Amino acid sequence: MKQYNPTSPSRRSMTVVPYKKSLTTKKAFKPLVKRLQRHAGRNSQGRVTMRHQGGGNKILYRTIDFNGRAFMGIEGVVQTIEYDPYRTAFIALVRYRNGAYAYVLSPNGLKVGDKVCTGNEVALTTGNRTFLKRIPIGSFVHNVELAPQKGGQFARSAGSSVQVLAHEDGYTHLKMSSGEVRKVSWDCFATIGQVSNVEHNLEIGGKAGRSRWRGVRPTVRGSAMNPRDHPYGGGEGRQPRGTRRPKTKWGKITGGRKTRRKKKESNTFIVRRRSK
């Protein structure tokens, strides 16, 4: 981590990931870049459905290949390791033997010039993508599919990974970072290794402006509002909550209440719940 000297209040305690050591280029590959429409947390009627979103720097979306099946059995060479403004992990530009290019999530330790491949008979090395049933017990994987041919859906953020615990009756048991153990069909694909940018969780913003650059607007405390705006609002000076259970702005119970549906279809695939 790079730590700044306290030359100003905003620099004090500010830390960032040293991108110059990790990334190899600043320019994105144009054919795989597009601009997405930004909604600032609003739905199709223009109403705010997700608070604290809006503004921020203009950013371009890099089209990521989360599946890999389009290049089955075709070896690729890593061209660049790049920053992606839409995600916390780094991405890698891969040029395949047939001349095609694709962006993939960069595993930790992947370097320019390394070879990666997707398939049923690939080597079990970092960056290669294969079926879960081929991956040895105890290995760490990321970008894991929940259903075959659906593309990777979890373990995609910076530094994340899941561990292969067992192979049984057509399913692979995976241990999540939360401690939950889940069964996933062993015909699903996963990429070997841990996602890059493992120091991301150590970043300290230093000032509110860095959040605004990322499109995060201020969050006002409920106790600082008026009584009509929040159950915690009102009172002279600093007041206690005034309600037995923590609530949202709309009076919904939020602390300690289970939000998962009891009859959710995927409950049958959870072997062990995450610890509290």
> Domain spans of the chain?
18-201
Beta-bridge partners for 216:
53
Say what the pLDDT of residue 276 is: 74
Using DSSP's 3-state secondary structure scheme, residue 253 falls into: strand
Say what the pLDDT of residue 33 is: 96
This prediction's pTM: 0.89
Our measurement of the distance from residue 184's CA atom to the centroid of its chain's CA atoms, rounded to an integer in Å, reads 19
Beta-bridge partners for 16:
2
Say what the pLDDT of residue 87 is: 95
Instruction: Name the one residue in this structure whose structure tokens are 């599946």.
Output: 67
Say what the pLDDT of residue 269 is: 93
pLDDT one-digit tens code per residue, 5-30? 999 999 998 999 988 888 999 899 99
Q: 18-201 has which CATH code? A: 2.40.50.140
Query: Could you say which residues of the chain have pLDDT below 70?
Result: none
Q: How far apart are CA 101 and CA 255, in angstroms?
A: 47
Say what the pLDDT of residue 242 is: 86
Instruction: Name the one residue in this structure whose structure tokens are 């650059």.
Output: 213
Say what the pLDDT of residue 230 is: 93
Say what the pLDDT of residue 255 is: 85
